[in-house]
């Protein structure tokens, strides 16, 4: 029977996937009340062609007397002069009054004249343009009418009109349209009461009225001040200053439910200016509902600096649920609890209307009904309206995202608050959904009183073991007995293991040094499971599985540590309880990204299965894209990984109990910026859905592009290794360190590399939220790691030339292997929570040369509270670079261009010097000119990025000797300097040179004497442009009388000062002799 059911499902899958392009038309299929159907546009063409417009070369003619089935009045639109399939008729959305995001039904009747020759296979098509989403089709038949009808959703980002055209076979067939009707149905769901009052208009909050505009602190302890210290509003003066935050979630919050119409998408915007520290991650978010069942949704997050000034945070969110009439927008941080900032110009703008779900899809739960449960993480907002429709359609299990965590169920000792969790559990079960309990013991979202206390100095210290154990046991028993058999399984302990432990066989040493560990000891995991098992033993009628749950378990070291722990605890328990397990299952969270290697997932899955426990994929999502944007390529890559994963899961279905997605759609994901789920922000299926539904088909139809390792170049230069950024670092390209190996995304940064004839130099600049080196394990401290495979062999194991170099922010180093310390030099510089690392790595196994490729990677370890919470790398996403060089990128050593030659110098004036040089042809370069006033420098850059091999240096001092050299640059590397040349600027010209005629034969010249003492030469010409003849030389006086001149003549003079081997620029003057006087008359 099971085989037959599977075959039936496979047939359904095949049928569902025979449609048009994969991600073409997310058509809404929401069921609605027929009485709510309204006509949006209706045209019978009795009065003309209506809103129809021609496409291509088609001619449109309104006709009468053309009655046919469905067109009794005989009025119709004749579409003729057709040659191409697109010679057709368009109905523009704007002309029809159709709105973006709304769902409509179009019904169209048409006819082909009896005498028309219709080729075989000719069809009429109804589609959207310009996305060309195919909606419906019908056969052309001479003398026959046709009808097309289809429900569709307007997406103005892709389409602008409906088009009635044909396929290629029908390209020449003229046809009639007798009637077109477009109706709108009220989308199902929406959450909350249908009689909510219409949304009030939202006026941009500028704080110019010097009030907080309705903003209040989320915690109530923040300081919010309207200030004129900063302002973004044009012509304004004020903003809201946010200070005294003490937790990442603290920040300004605004209630917005009265400004929201349910089902609509809204654009949320706020301008933010960071006050402190120098750099911080901040995010714009929205909250749906209040209390433990609330949903918290990140709209946009990014890291900004104080130097960025005002930065726009803007994103969209569709409000399908009113959260019990509690909606907010707020600004917080994902990892910085103390950042201060300003906000201004807050706006909320309504966009597209309600969208229904696609009812014509095959439910994911049906596709895997014989394999495992399909689950999802939910809040109360997911259990109402259209979101509930989607949830129930595709899933048969849920996990409460936050409501069943310790801080929600027992915020203060003995005060259990089950209302929010009960509402979710009871509602889910009433809707036929299984419930998985999450979570009993965790180091996060646990109230501090459970495992810590304050000492006499008000320091936080671990609680005593007995009291902490008592708190743990009481919480576990009370919670488990409250929910009883309403749940099918519990995450007893969550995320107890450190990432990538060095010795995974020693699982106790690999445990995270969490508050539970500090209070109880390394056996706290065992004690938690013993307490949970005791409850189940007291209730033998309950069929509940006990899980250990963790993330990054595709990392083989972490997977081995989890394996070692579960094996040890189960083996120990079996000694006193033969045939029994303490831990029933392992939850593999599955927070992946499109670079995740599914082979590592397979290794971990099979490792856990070998323990004889069941496995659940407990929190699955796959990051792709950024800032809420997903390209088609990224969407397909995401779908491909989902397909690989579900193919793997199906192959091991006998050992997998449940696959749970961590979020219903992208908009409500905790990683919303990375669009990680199978359904988009509008609840429409993405390529990921199709990859999940039929992995083999998706993989076959989307062969992956061959992936290349990241490539970078290292320029040739020798920096001073002192932790500061020398100018030479600007000559080599930057490498972003932004591929995260972990679910948590923390510190990030950039790297640059240089080389010389002996060494590799690396500069890494890190942006962090806090600096921590509390762990004894160096890889769990805030630090950077550099990986070098000198022969670039890409082996899966270390050879003698391979190495791992680690430097923390305090310049403490460690190496793998330790011998790498020989010759290694490092320096660090800390600025607030950011730090710079500069290192020198001797290249001993290869001879550095132009074009040499090194295997290379850089990694940033982000620590908090003595544990590593995030790892980012330049290339590697596996976390295995400490043992596997095949995951590195490639760094190519690039030689500098040749030095310029034949540098010559000419003194052009008293304030300028002209330079000229030669350069061998080859790759294009630019030039930089360096100047000094002493032969040994210091030299400063006088000009940069010159395209020509000539330069005139201006604004110099007179009679001053200057030294010059020139370098060439190809954009990443810089040549050695040319030979140095020197020369002196001319003396300043004599001042106040004046020429005056004394009579018709004599002109006198006068000028200012210059310093130092100089001799003077005088030149004369009868034309302004010469030629000039020297008429006097080595004059010591600052005057000269020129005689025996011709009357009535203009004479031009130049005076040059001479001092030693230098001379001045020529000063110029002119004078005219008068006419010769006549003889006196007698």
Pairing relation of β-strands 748-755 and 123-129?
Answer: unpaired
Compute CA 981 distance to the chain's CA centroid, rounded to the nearest angstrom. 50
User: Can you tell me the distance from the alpha carbon of 725 to that of 765, in angstroms, rounded to the nearest whole number?
Assistant: 10
Among 614, 628, 622, residue whose Cα is nearest residue 661 = 622
User: Can you tell me the distance from the alpha carbon of 1056 to that of 827, in angstroms, rounded to the nearest whole number?
Assistant: 58
Q: What are phi and psi of 1061, to 5 degrees?
A: -95, 5
Return the SS3 of 790.
coil
User: Can you tell me the distance from the alpha carbon of 352 to that of 303, in angstroms, rounded to the nearest whole number?
Assistant: 29
Is 257 among the residues known to form the active site?
A: no
Alpha helices in 314-398 (DSSP H): 364-367, 385-394
State the DSSP H helix or E strand holding residue 8, giving kind and residue range, or none if neither: helix 2-16
User: Can you tell me the distance from the alpha carbon of 507 to that of 70, in angstroms, rounded to the nearest whole number?
Assistant: 76
Pairing relation of β-strands 853-864 and 889-893?
Answer: antiparallel
Pairing relation of β-strands 889-893 and 711-716?
Answer: parallel
User: Can you tell me the distance from the alpha carbon of 642 to that of 654, in angstroms, rounded to the nearest whole number?
Assistant: 19
**Neighbour-count burial for 689-718, b at 16+ CB within 10 Å, e otherwise:** bbbbbbbeebbeebeeeeeebbebbbbbbe
User: Can you tell me the distance from the alpha carbon of 963 to that of 60, in angstroms, rounded to the nearest whole number?
Assistant: 80
User: Can you tell me the distance from the alpha carbon of 790 to that of 453, in angstroms, rounded to the nearest whole number?
Assistant: 51
Q: How many residues does the chain have?
A: 1082
Determine contact, residues 619/377, Cβ cutoff 8 Å. yes
End-to-end CA distance of the chain: 152
Tell me the CB-side half-sphere exposure of residue 1025, using CA atoms within 13 A. 0
Among 443, 495, 502, residue whose Cα is nearest residue 779 = 502
Residue 193 burial class via C-beta count within 10 angstroms: exposed 0-12, middle 13-18, buried 19 and up = exposed
User: Can you tell me the distance from the alpha carbon of 425 to that of 483, in angstroms, rounded to the nearest whole number?
Assistant: 9
Pairing relation of β-strands 295-305 and 279-288?
Answer: antiparallel
Q: Which of 619, 673, 780, 890 is catalytic?
A: 619
Q: What angle do CA 438, 442, 446 make, to 5 degrees?
A: 95
Return the SS3 of 859.
strand
User: Can you tell me the distance from the alpha carbon of 421 to that of 59, in angstroms, rounded to the nearest whole number?
Assistant: 64
Per-position DSSP letters for 304-336, written without gaps between them: EEGGG-EEEEEEEEE----TTT-EEEEEE-SS-
User: Can you tell me the distance from the alpha carbon of 987 to that of 371, in angstroms, rounded to the nearest whole number?
Assistant: 94
Catalytic residue numbers read: 619
């Amino acid at each position: 029977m099971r085989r037959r059911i599977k075959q039936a499902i496979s047939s359904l899958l095949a049928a569902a996937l025979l449609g048009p392009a994969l991600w073409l038309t997310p058509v809404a299929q929401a069921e609605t009340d027929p009485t709510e159907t309204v006509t949006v546009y209706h045209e019978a063409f009795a009065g003309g062609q209506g809103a129809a417009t021609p496409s291509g070369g088609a001619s449109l003619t309104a006709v009468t007397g053309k009655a046919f089935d469905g067109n009794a009045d005989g009025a119709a639109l004749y579409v003729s002069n057709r040659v191409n399939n697109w010679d057709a008729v368009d109905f523009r959305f704007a002309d029809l009054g159709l709105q973006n995001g709304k769902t409509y039904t179009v019904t169209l009747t048409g006819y082909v004249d009896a005498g028309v020759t219709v080729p075989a296979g000719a069809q009429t098509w109804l589609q959207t343009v310009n996305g060309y989403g195919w909606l419906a089709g019908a056969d052309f038949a001479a003398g026959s009418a046709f009808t097309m009808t289809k429900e569709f959703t307007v997406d103005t980002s892709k389409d602008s009109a409906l088009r009635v055209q044909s396929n290629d076979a029908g390209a020449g067939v003229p046809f009639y349209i007798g009637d077109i009707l477009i109706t709108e149905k009220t989308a199902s769901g929406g959450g909350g009461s249908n009689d909510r009052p219409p949304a009030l208009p939202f006026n941009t909050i500028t704080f110019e009225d010097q009030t907080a505009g309705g903003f209040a602190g989320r915690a109530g302890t923040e300081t919010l001040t309207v200030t004129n210290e900063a302002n973004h509003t044009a012509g304004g003066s004020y903003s809201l200053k946010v200070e005294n935050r003490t937790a990442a979630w603290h920040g300004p919050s605004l209630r917005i439910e009265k400004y929201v119409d349910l089902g609509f998408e809204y654009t949320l915007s706020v301008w933010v200016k960071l006050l402190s520290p120098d750099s911080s991650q901040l995010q714009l978010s929205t909250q749906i509902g209040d209390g433990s069942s609330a949903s918290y949704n990140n709209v946009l997050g990014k890291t900004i600096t104080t130097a960025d000034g005002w930065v726009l945070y803007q994103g969209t969110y569709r409000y399908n649920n009113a959260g019990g009439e509690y909606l907010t927008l707020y600004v917080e941080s994902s990892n910085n609890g103390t950042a201060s900032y300003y906000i201004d110009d807050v706006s909320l703008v309504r966009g597209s209307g309600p969208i229904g779900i696609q009812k014509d899809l095959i439910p994911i739960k049906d596709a895997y009904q014989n394999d495992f449960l399909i689950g999802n993480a939910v809040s109360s907002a997911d259990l109402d309206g259209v979101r509930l429709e989607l949830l129930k359609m595709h899933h048969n299990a849920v996990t409460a995202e936050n409501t069943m965590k310790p801080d929600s169920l027992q915020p203060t000792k003995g005060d259990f608050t089950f209302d929010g969790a009960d509402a979710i559990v009871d509602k889910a079960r009433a809707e036929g959904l299984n419930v998985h309990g999450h979570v009993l013991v965790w180091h996060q979202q646990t109230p501090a009183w459970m495992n810590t206390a304050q000492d006499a100095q008000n320091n936080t210290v671990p609680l005593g073991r007995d009291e902490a154990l008592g708190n743990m046991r009481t919480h576990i028993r009370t919670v488990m007995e409250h929910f009883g058999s309403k749940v099918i399984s519990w995450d007893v302990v969550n995320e107890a293991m450190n990432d990538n432990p060095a010795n995974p066989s020693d699982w106790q040493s690999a445990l995270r040094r969490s508050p539970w560990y500090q209070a109880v000891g390394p056996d706290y995991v065992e004690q938690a499971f013993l307490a949970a098992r005791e409850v189940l033993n007291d209730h033998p009628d309950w069929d509940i599985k006990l899980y250990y749950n963790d993330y990054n378990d595709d990392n083989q070291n972490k997977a081995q540590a989890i394996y070692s722990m579960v094996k040890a605890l189960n083996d120990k328990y079996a000694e006193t309880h033969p045939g029994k397990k303490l831990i029933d299952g392992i939850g593999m969270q599955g927070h992946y990204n499109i670079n995740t290697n599914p082979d590592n997932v397979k290794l971990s899955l099979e490792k856990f299965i070998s323990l004889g426990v069941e496995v659940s994929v407990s929190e699955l999502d796959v990051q792709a894209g950024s800032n809420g944007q997903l390209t088609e390529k990224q969407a397909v890559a995401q779908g491909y990984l989902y397909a690989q994963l579900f193919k793997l899961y199906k192959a091991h279905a006998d050992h997998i109990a449940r696959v749970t997605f961590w979020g219903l759609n992208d908009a409500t994901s905790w990683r919303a910026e990375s669009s990680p789920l199978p359904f988009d922000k509008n609840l429409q299926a993405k390529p990921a859905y199709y990859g999940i539904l039929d992995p083999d088909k998706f993989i076959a139809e989307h062969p992956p592009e061959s992936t290349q390792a990241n490539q970078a170049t290292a320029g040739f230069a020798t920096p001073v290794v002192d932790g500061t950024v020398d100018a030479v670092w600007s000559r080599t390209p930057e490498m972003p360190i932004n591929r995260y190996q972990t679910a948590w995304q923390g510190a990030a940064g950039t790297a640059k590399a240089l080389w010389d004839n002996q060494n590799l130099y690396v500069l890494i600049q890190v942006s962090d939220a806090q600096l921590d080196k509390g762990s004894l394990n160096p890889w769990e401290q805030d630090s950077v790691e550099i990986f070098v495979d000198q022969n670039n062999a890409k082996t899966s194991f270390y050879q003698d030339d391979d190495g791992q170099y680690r430097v923390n922010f305090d310049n403490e180093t460690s190496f793998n292997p330790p011998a790498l310390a020989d010759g290694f030099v490092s320096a660090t510089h800390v600025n607030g929570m950011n730090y710079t690392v500069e290192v020198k790595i001797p290249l001993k196994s290869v001879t550095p040369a132009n074009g040499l490729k090194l295997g290379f990677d850089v990694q940033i370890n982000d620590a908090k509270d003595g544990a590593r919470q995030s790892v980012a790398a330049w290339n590697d996403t596996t976390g295995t670079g400490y043992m596997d060089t095949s995951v590195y990128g490639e760094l190519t050593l690039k030689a500098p261009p040749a030095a310029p030659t034949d540098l010559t110098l000419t003194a052009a004036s008293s304030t300028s010097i002209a330079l000229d040089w030669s350069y061998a042809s080859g790759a294009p370069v630019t030039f930089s000119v360096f100047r000094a006033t002493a032969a040994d420098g210091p030299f400063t850059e006088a000009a940069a990025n010159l395209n020509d091999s000539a330069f005139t240096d201006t604004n110099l001092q007179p009679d001053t000797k200057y030294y010059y050299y020139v370098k060439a640059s190809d954009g990443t590397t810089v040549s050695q300097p040319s030979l140095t040349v020197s020369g002196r600027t001319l003396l300043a010209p004599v001042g106040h040179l004046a020429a005056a005629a004394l009579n018709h034969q004599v002109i006198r010249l006068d000028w200012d004497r210059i310093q130092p003492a100089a001799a003077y030469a005088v030149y004369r010409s009868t034309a302004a442009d010469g030629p000039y003849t020297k008429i006097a030389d080595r004059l010591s006086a600052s005057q000269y009388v020129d005689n025996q001149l011709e009357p009535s003549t203009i004479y031009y003079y130049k005076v040059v000062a001479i001092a030693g081997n230098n001379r001045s620029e020529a000063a110029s003057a002119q004078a005219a002799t008068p006419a010769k006087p006549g003889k006196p008359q007698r």
